[in-house]
Amino acid sequence: MSGSGAKHLYWLALSRWVSVPAAVIAVGVLVVEFGFAEPPVSTGCLHLLQIIAAVLLWWNKIYFWAVVQRREFTWYKPVLDIILLLLLVLSLIFLPDLTKARAPAATLRWGVFQIYLLLLVLFHLGRLSIAAAASGRAPTRALLISFAAIIFIGSILLMLPAAHHGGRLCFTDAVFTATSATCVTGLIVRDTGSDFTRLGQTVILVMIQMGGLGIMIFGALFAMLLGSPLSMRESVAMRDIMNEQTPGRIGRVVVFICLITLTLEALGAVGLYGTWGSVPDTEATTALRGGAFYKSVFHSISAFCNAGFSLQTDSLMAYRGCRQIYLILCPLIILGGLGFPVLHNLWTIVRQRMSRQRDDGTVKDSAFASARLTLHSKIVLTTTAALLLFGFVLFLVLEYTSSEPNHHPVTGLTLLDSLFNSITARTAGFNTVAIDELDAGSKLVLIFLMYVGGSPSSTAGGIKTVSFAVMVLAIFATMRRRREVLVFHRTIPMMVVRRVATLIMLYGLLLWLLTLLMTITEHSSDQDILDLFFEVASALGTVGLSTGVTGQLTLAGKWVIIIAMLIGRLGPLSLLAALTFNIRPIRYEYPREPLVVG
């Protein structure tokens, strides 16, 4: 590499890391300005710091385009960046006159500038996380750091006086809530609807969205939209994180993920909008028009990201009689749990069917001429359908044939309730019936569904449907004395079977170990062992269902659940890969000797 090239790379790296203190300044100033009723620093000083942060963040962009990319510079690459800047300038000049708002013009202008500043911060943090993943260290380690950063920042924001009602929110409860939101779990120690203000609820909602998709996805999207393409190393790092085979397709996959997410969440919000007034005794009937809209958006995002957060104290129990809730939330939960590779595969097939032939009978688009269901999609769809049917039948049968003394089926239990619980137990976390009133057998069925969870590369947790299916197929192959694991006329590599066996063993050991820790931390509360097991399975599977244990946890018990939620979101194998990334593989073999098994 030439001296000038090395110099440019040095200054580019320096300019990127200059954006770190700039982002810290920007976020810190916004926290001070909006988090306190009376900021300890004057508003003029805060606004000056915001301008300094914006200048530092823009210096990175200017250097990148003027120096690093000057040879490959084309006018259309930074066009969106320029458009956003022009919109900012026009808004600062004309917005107060166009809106005719009651707020002072200066307040409106600073509000627009602060929104733009937040977009700059998100862009730079996303790019930094991608650059860290491509630095030669384990990409999963960068993923862990990005989740930890979101949780820490979210905890600080939730502790602000303007984010919650009542007295002081302790650090442990703030971390628990932030972890539950970022890891799209749904377990709560503070009621989301009554204990947090609209600001606090919005912080939780943003963490759900960022945790469901990941800050690196947002960083890659912003990079492409703002004309700053990913390097090859960054594409390879994103490939490892997203389980995508071809680095060249990363851009299209990222765009598809963001578009399908926003589209489905928007459709879900529209479908839920007229639902909240159907129950006379809820606060929704007296809510303003904006309140009903916010509720719809909140629950739609929470459902698609499989988070399970609700603005009602009893989740969705008050809406058991509303079929619209089932018809909207169930598809959102299932689609969110299928995984983006399956959704992309299905979309490709739909496009093929829509554009297969022209009027003259020729193929219109050869790129989709060979589109078909992949082996991954077939396994996911088949296993998902089987698990939903399995949970639905067992849940219904066990509740009506319980042999427990003094147990009665959940009052008014319907077929829709049974189906909804079978769907939501696979990492969504909403509930329309009281979980603590269920039969012990029903709880065990829910634990099994939480253990399996959703599908790979989705917003769900658990060991994943593909892992469960591969292990079942491996057992079947062993029983039939087959040397290979076969499915749909395809052979599954033995390396995949080994990874699945490792994952299931690790997950089972973690479930046992965390439950053991919970029996130690909660020994004074006299909790039932099945309820503790249920709580740990819900946290490790990032589900959010609870028998009522969460609100009674000790301080140590809360931290055990926090660790369980973080491990469950990252996945045991990803965590193991991050810890063992630098270990070199052994290049030799010892003599083989037979071993008695079984």
pLDDT at position 224 is 54
Q: Are 161 and 522 in contact (CB under 8 A)?
A: no
**Residue 485 to residue 549: CA distance in whole angstroms:** 41
Name the region of 197 (left: φ>0; alpha: ψ -120 to 50; beta: rest).
beta
pLDDT tier, 360 (very low <50, low <70, confident <90, very high otherwise): very low
Tell me which of 204-208, 288-292, 418-422 is least confident: 288-292
CB burial class (10 A; 0-12, 13-18, 19+) of residue 308? buried
pLDDT tier, 125 (very low <50, low <70, confident <90, very high otherwise): low
* Residue 157 dihedral angles phi and psi, to the nearest 5°: -65, -40
Average predicted confidence (pLDDT) for the chain: 76
pLDDT at position 472 is 93
Rg (CA), the chain: 26
Angle at which helices 139-158 and 572-579 cross, to 10°: 110
Query: pLDDT at residue 541 above 60?
Result: yes
pLDDT tier, 298 (very low <50, low <70, confident <90, very high otherwise): very high
pLDDT tier, 564 (very low <50, low <70, confident <90, very high otherwise): very high
pLDDT at position 379 is 92
pLDDT at position 323 is 83
In this predicted model, which residue has the larger pLDDT, 413 or 401? 401
**Residue 567 to residue 540: CA distance in whole angstroms:** 7
For residue 395, the one-letter residue type is F
- pLDDT tens-digit readout, 320-353: 778 888 889 999 999 988 888 888 888 888 887 7
Which H/E stretch holds residue 487? strand 485-487
DSSP-derived 3-state class of residue 196: strand
**Residue 228 to residue 131: CA distance in whole angstroms:** 13
Q: Of all residues in the chain, what percent carry a pLDDT higher than 70?
A: 68
State CA 29 to chain mean position distance: 27
Q: Of all residues in the chain, what percent carry a pLDDT higher than 90?
A: 16
pLDDT tier, 366 (very low <50, low <70, confident <90, very high otherwise): very low
Tell me which of 208-222, 308-322, 477-491 is least confident: 208-222
In this predicted model, which residue has the larger pLDDT, 127 or 427? 427
Residues in CB range of 5: below 8 A, 6 or more apart: none
pLDDT at position 287 is 45
The mean pLDDT of 151-164, rounded to a whole number, is: 82
Residues in CB range of 379: below 8 A, 6 or more apart: 465, 466, 469, 470, 487, 488
pLDDT at position 590 is 78
pLDDT at position 289 is 43
- Select from 446, 426, 431 the least CA-distant residue to 310: 431
The mean pLDDT of 387-397, rounded to a whole number, is: 89
- pLDDT tens-digit readout, 412-446: 567 888 888 889 888 888 888 888 888 888 889 99
pLDDT tier, 16 (very low <50, low <70, confident <90, very high otherwise): low
* Residue 14 dihedral angles phi and psi, to the nearest 5°: -65, -45
Angle at which helices 375-400 and 323-338 cross, to 10°: 140
Query: pLDDT at residue 536 above 90?
Result: yes
**Residue 280 to residue 26: CA distance in whole angstroms:** 44
pLDDT tier, 75 (very low <50, low <70, confident <90, very high otherwise): very low
In this predicted model, which residue has the larger pLDDT, 42 or 449? 449
Q: Are 301 and 186 in contact (CB under 8 A)?
A: no
Return the biggest CA–CA distance within the chain: 84
Query: pLDDT at residue 576 above 80?
Result: no
Tell me which of 185-194, 316-325, 505-514 is least confident: 316-325
In this predicted model, which residue has the larger pLDDT, 370 or 390? 390
The mean pLDDT of 482-488, rounded to a whole number, is: 88
The mean pLDDT of 171-192, rounded to a whole number, is: 90
Residues in CB range of 352: below 8 A, 6 or more apart: 365, 368, 369, 371
For residue 304, the one-letter residue type is F
- Select from 427, 515, 421 the least CA-distant residue to 185: 427
Tell me which of 181-195, 216-230, 393-407, 575-589 is least confident: 216-230
CB atoms within 10 A of CB 469: 23
- pLDDT tens-digit readout, 506-534: 899 999 999 999 999 988 877 889 999 99
The mean pLDDT of 376-387, rounded to a whole number, is: 92
pLDDT at position 85 is 67
Query: pLDDT at residue 215 above 50?
Result: yes
The mean pLDDT of 123-127, rounded to a whole number, is: 66
The mean pLDDT of 109-137, rounded to a whole number, is: 67
Give, in degrees to the nearest 5, the angle at Cα 258 between 257 and 262.
Answer: 120
